[in-house]
Amino acid sequence: MRLVLVGTSHHRAPVELREQLFVSAAENRELVERLAGADAEAVVLSTCNRTELYLAHGDDEAAQARAFAELTALAGLAESEIAPALYTLTDEAAALHVFRVAAGLDSLIPGEAQILGQVRGAYEAAREADTAGPVLHRVFRQALRVGRRVRTETAIGENPASISSAAAELAERVFGTLEGRRILVLGAGKMSDLATVNLISRGVDSVFVANRSVERAERLARRFGGRAAGLDAVEAELENADVVVASTSASGYVLSAEQVERAMRARKGRPIFFVDIAVPRDIDPAVNEIEGCYLYDVDDLERVVEESVAGRREEAVRAEAIVADEAERFRDWQLSLDVVPAIASLRALAESIREDELARAEGRLGSLSPSQRRAVESLTAQIVNKLLHPPTVRMKEAAAAADGVLYADAIRHLFALEDDDHPARKPRK
């Protein structure tokens, strides 16, 4: 069976095309079943940054044609239009790719952790649909192991790699822990959403959203089980908040130093952490001069991210070595598929001949004692094993050197392993 990958990602396709090729969880099962048919294995990995079809098939050209047809239908484009955005990889190259994906090495941000769960989800979906066979079971289980190895043996995922994750990590450094802390969110856009998600993942207890449009504030607050109000409620909420995330589209400051000073008097010195990720800024920079206030703007956070990504790229070198090692293991396993059946057939043939010859000599062996009979059985088995040991070793060595299929074919031909008329294959009378 050949391993075949056909897909696209953020490296080759704009978001408009990736949207057209996105496969939802509900659509995944139907697609993998079509791809697998009656003669192949199939797994579909689809995220916001990639859609990749993995197949194991005896004919790699047929597998590629099947994958191209499905992607063309998904995109609603002619094959000539979509082809430049697609890549095709086979066998070891395909395995190396999915290992890099699971390790976060093919992501926009090196080492991002979400992709490993997405790879696991794609594999589990194929298992539920019963479209993952021996080859894809092997490659995806190994990919999940690679992802775990990279995260435990390197520091590629330890530092924040986005503005929102950097904000959450800095807040955690300030307070030591975010367990039970309260967050005040100014604005209800995407950046506010992402920052809130990161803070909640680190233990933030409650969320209050303030926005010019109260309706939008309420929608965001509902997602996190929080409360909402207009911007006029900000000063009162400052008295209880531990973390303030600001990301509105206002043209001027929505939070002044005077407002913060009044709130700090009511807070009696309890520290407060401000994250201003708006451009133009939402929070008066003078807030940073107030005792107990820690203010970071988008430039501060970008510097943290740049340092983090640089560190991740250094760790990526170590991660690539792990991935390359695992890809070589997969290559050795796949090459062994050419020789293992031939070795098994040869040993089965030899054992059949041994048993037949012992049966023919039964008249002469009948007078042997049980211990003598066991000695004869052991002696003949040892002879067979010693005769077959050198060709078995040579075939396995040849498989590792990519010559295994030639050796396997030679063994099948020399010993008539596929010949139903071979004496050893005829039923005993």
In the chain, the amino acid numbered 417 is L
Distances (CA, A) of 408 to 337, 411, 415: 10, 5, 11
- C-beta of residue 211 within 8 angstroms of C-beta of residue 232: no
Query: In angstroms, rounded to a whole number, what is the distance separating the alpha carbons of residues 425 and 429?
Result: 12
List phi, psi (to 5°) of 244. -120, 125
Per the residue annotation, which of 27, 37, 39, 48 is the catalytic one?
Answer: 48
Can 48 be counted among the known catalytic residues? yes
Query: In angstroms, rounded to a whole number, what is the distance separating the alpha carbons of residues 108 and 396?
Result: 40
State the sign of the Cα–Cα–Cα–Cα dihedral 21, 27, 29, 34: negative
Between strands 87-90 and 2-9, the pairing is antiparallel
Give the helix, strand, coil percentages of the chain, each rounded to 5: 60, 15, 25
CB proximity list for 182: less than 8 A, separation 6 or greater: 204, 205, 206, 207, 208, 240, 241, 242, 243
Three-state DSSP state, 207: strand
Three-state DSSP state, 161: coil
Expressed in angstroms, the distance from the first to the final Cα of the chain is 38
How crowded is residue 135: how many other Cβ atoms within 10 Å of its Cβ? 24
DSSP string, 55-83: EEES-HHHHHHHHHHHHHHHHTS-HHHHG
Q: Exposed, middle or buried, 78 (CB in 10 Å: 0-12/13-18/19+)?
A: exposed
**Six-digit token pair at 297?**
């703007």
Q: Exposed, middle or buried, 300 (CB in 10 Å: 0-12/13-18/19+)?
A: middle
**Which of 289, 285, 282 lies closest to 264 in space, CA to CA?**
289
Per-residue burial over 215-237, b if 16 or more Cβ lie within 10 Å, else e, is: ebbbebbeebebbbbebebbbeb
**Six-digit token pair at 388?**
């077959």
Active-site residues: which are they?
A: 48
